[in-house]
């Protein structure tokens, strides 16, 4: 069994609380490493600077424009929120399909 786990939840919301309470429910002695709280990471920009300084590849490099939505990814899922996605009728942009394809592209084509 692991003796430590880490998460990327910021210190602002309650994601960190839910994650850590669930971890402690499974193992009261587990060490939780929370970089946003423990390291000098006060913004996404400081996180990007840290990654670049340490040779950590970032999938989405901010260029001249700011992303209109935020993305959270882990081993189990990717979620997006913000901007166009606040409207449940809005379709996601094509570049959001990272591990899967859009439903239209997932149709099985039968040779009959």
CATH number for position 46: 3.40.50.620
- The residues near 94 (Cβ < 8 Å, ≥ 6 apart) are 102
Q: Is 5 left (phi over 0), alpha (psi -120 to 50) or beta?
A: beta
Tell whether 43 and 85 lie within a shared domain: no
pLDDT surpassing 90 at residue 4:
yes
Is a pLDDT exceeding 80 seen at residue 112? no
**How many domains does the structure of the chain reveal?**
2
Residue 54 shares a structural domain with residue 94: no
Give the tens place of pLDDT for each residue, 23-57.
Answer: 999 999 999 998 888 888 877 788 888 888 999 88
Number of helices (H) and strands (E) in the chain: give both, helices first.
3, 4
d(CA 14, CA 49): 25
Q: Do 32 and 3 share a domain, yes or no? A: yes
pLDDT tens profile 78-98: 888 877 778 888 887 777 777
Picking from 23, 22, 20, the residue whose alpha carbon sits closest to that of residue 36 is: 20
The answer to whether residues 90 and 110 belong to one domain is: yes
Domain housing 15: 1-58
């Amino acid at each position: 069994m692991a003796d430590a786990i880490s998460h990327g939840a910021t210190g602002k919301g309650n994601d960190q609380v839910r994650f850590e309470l669930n971890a402690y429910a499974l193992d009261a002695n587990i060490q939780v490493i929370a970089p946003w709280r423990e390291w000098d990471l006060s913004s996404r920009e400081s996180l990007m600077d840290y990654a670049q300084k340490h040779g950590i590849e970032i999938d989405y490099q901010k260029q001249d424009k700011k992303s209109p939505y935020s993305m959270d990814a882990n081993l189990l899922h990717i979620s997006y929120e913000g901007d166009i996605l606040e409207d449940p009728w809005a379709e996601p942009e094509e570049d959001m399909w990272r591990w899967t394809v859009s439903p239209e592209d997932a149709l099985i084509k039968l040779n009959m």
